[in-house]
Amino acid sequence: MFKSPKIHIYITAIAVLLIIIGSVYSSVGLRVKPHMDAATVEKTDITQGVRVDGTVKAAQDLNLAFVQGGTVSKINVKAGDSVKKGQILAELDSKGLSASLSQVSAAVQGSEAAYEKILNGATDQDINIAKVALANAKTSLNNANSQQQVAVDNAYKTLLNSGLAAIPDSGNSGPVTVSIFGAYTGQDQGSYKITIFSTGNGLRFQYDGLETGSGIVDITPKPLGSKGLYIQFSATSVPTNNSWTVSLPNTQAASYVANYNAYQSALQNKQTAISAAQSAVDSAQAALDLKQTKARPEDVAAAQAQLNASRAQYQLAQNSYSQSILTAPIDGIITSVDAKVGQTVAGSTLAPGIPAIKMMSDQKFQIETFVAETDIGKIKVGDIAQVALDAYGDSANFPAIVITIDPATTIIKGISTYKATLQFNQEDQRILAGMGASVTIIDEKHAQVLAIPGSSVLKDNGKTFVLVDMGQSNFKKTKITAGITGIEGKAEVLSGLSEGQKVIYFGN
């Protein structure tokens, strides 16, 4: 029998749909076959977080450390001080981070303007403004490169001049010592090997290594090469078998480690600043390209993607900047301050490392809970939480905040979990040790974003997609970019769908 192409496509679509439904049914291990329905893509608020059970316990001291590494620039408290939640306790050197934040903030503004302009169409004036913005961004990139290179060069010069000293060879004899003065202006690392030889006119010293030459043995400083260094002997009578070595840098110097870390920090700051400045250039270039091209659906989508990317970069820069500031997570009393200004500290993205400051809580009780490995990435220290104590039901709300996340895993009923400790925001006589609690930890809130039911989001060969309801029992497999998944069961859609479309979702 003859079948029209339309009927053939319809039958094929139904067959594919049945295969996908079977795949979903099998992958989640449902005992009851899920039913299928359609939901409208709409804008709504989404809250990402986790819901876990916990137990009230007596409060403990808190060990506070920086999440990221860096050089301590400020210590604002001392042992015995009373502090309030949110008070700044210590700060890392954040000049580079601050500059990066400003640059990516400008990139966000540029992306937002580009998106609005492409929707409305660009004028000649708009194009000229975009060209100026691109030129400014390139200038900023050049300035950032120059400024950061100066900082790197200075840090490198300081590193090479770490503890300049002439180290005597083990076979030296006699009391004569050698001192090194000046500042090494060269760029190469290496050493000067100094030896003594006699001439008819007296003793001379010879040097080789980074440079080659000779000079008169004298108790006044004499040039050691042509790169800013001077050598001085404590006496003019020196055994000719004596020799010394001047290493650049002197890795045995007390200042070497600090100078090396400062140099590495300068390199990292340069990379961060240039990366941010380059992102601004890329954003400005994209904005100009969009203005010079007639708006098409794909142009609008590209502008939206660029806007999302710049906002994400800003969020990362903002998070990085905030991680250079150590704040009090709760009200309490400082018990000790272990960090020092100028000290280089290491950090950890999962949980704090070596404590910089220790404090004692004003509160009597905390919540101890265990978060599954699959959810631990959804929370972080500082997240707020809503706690319902079993003794009082859901109608009584006890606000709390995440203060620590244990980096070590704990196996509970065969599942890897991580212990998270929360601090109540205020004392309450109703709270008693040992009480059971239901805890909702809130990590992110996205207001009025495109959202669909979480069960609409499917995976296939590492790609994320949904089934768009085209009407008349037809559907279209559509690739999307998903954002956060809310505790409300909604999934954020960053790209691939438009408001008002309908997608298929699955339920029991």
Q: What is the pLDDT of residue 2?
A: 32
Q: Is the pLDDT of residue 446 over 80?
A: yes
Q: Is the pLDDT of residue 27 over 60?
A: no
Mean per-residue pLDDT over the chain, rounded: 85
Average confidence (pLDDT) over 289-295: 75
Instruction: Give the start-to-end residue ranges of the domains of the chain.
Output: 37-59+363-508, 63-85+330-358, 95-154+277-323, 166-248
Element (H, E) at 213: strand 213-216
443 or 215, greater pLDDT: 215
Dihedrals φ, ψ of 62, to 5°? -110, 135
Q: Which amino acid is at 69?
A: G
DSSP 469: E
Dihedrals φ, ψ of 34, to 5°? -70, 150
362 or 113, greater pLDDT: 113
Q: What is the pLDDT of residue 55?
A: 93
CATH class of domain segment(s) 37-59+363-508: mainly beta
Q: What is the pLDDT of residue 63?
A: 82
Q: What is the DSSP string of 307-332?
A: HHHHHHHHHHHHHHHHTTEEE-SSSE
Percent of the chain exceeding pLDDT 90 equals: 43
Say whether 115 sits in a helix, a strand or coil: helix
Residues 26 and 382: their CA atoms lie apart, in Å, by: 38
- pLDDT tier, 348 (very low <50, low <70, confident <90, very high otherwise): low
Say whether 17 sits in a helix, a strand or coil: helix
Whole-structure pTM value: 0.39
DSSP 286: H
